[in-house]
Amino acid sequence: MDFPFLTRFQPVLLSLFRFITGLLLFQYGIAKLFKFPPLPMFAKVELMSLYGAAGSLELVVGGLLMIGLFTRLAAFILSGEMAFAYFMGHMLKGETPVLLPLLNGGTAAILFCFACLYLSAAGGGPISVDAAMGKK
């Protein structure tokens, strides 16, 4: 079944999807690096650690994703970061690997990984710096 009414909004919704994905990752970077909002899980994150590196990527590259600059590259980098986060931070958290995301808390990492992988293939949409500069 086709929905032509919704199909015509696809390009704008792609831009909105890109912005929201970048914003959600950006907030993790803010929380890890600037301790805002103050969350217990990010209270002891140091810049020169894996969490600090992840926060830096989420802050800078998430910001690029929000504005749609170098969208495909930014999304590809963040997709890899989220895959790494899932395998290192969730699946291999303890002595025994826990494969189920519901049990290891990795659902968001998997969603971010595949959302960013999609954006790396689809691009930033018409409302982006890339589109304004003439890149696709």
What is the per-residue pLDDT across 80-104, written as a single tens digit (0 to 9) for each? 999 999 999 899 877 788 888 998 9
Tell me the CA distances in angstroms from 83 to 35, 59, 76, 98, 101, one per residue in order.
24, 17, 11, 15, 12
Of the ranges 6-15, 96-105, 117-126, which one carries the lowest mean pLDDT score?
96-105
pLDDT range class, residue 133, cuts 50, 70, 90: very high
Stretch 101-113: mean pLDDT, rounded? 94
Domain ranges of the chain: 4-132
How many CB atoms are located within 10 Å of the residue 35 CB? Answer: 13
Work out the number of other CB atoms within 10 angstroms of the CB of residue 5: 7
What pLDDT does residue 4 have?
83
Taking only the tens place, the pLDDT of each residue in 30-87 is 999 999 999 998 889 999 999 999 999 999 999 999 999 999 999 999 999 999 999 9
Q: Counting beta carbons within 10 angstroms of the beta carbon of residue 22, is it exposed (0 to 12), middle (13 to 18) or buried (19 or more)?
A: buried
Q: Residue 135 above 70 pLDDT?
A: no
**pTM, two decimal places:** 0.91
DSSP of 41-72, one letter per residue?
Answer: GGTT--TTSHHHHHHHHHHHHHHHHHHTSSHH
pLDDT of residue 2: 78
CA distances from 9 to 40, 128, 136 (A): 40, 15, 18
Residues near 5 by Cβ (< 8 Å), separated by ≥ 6? none
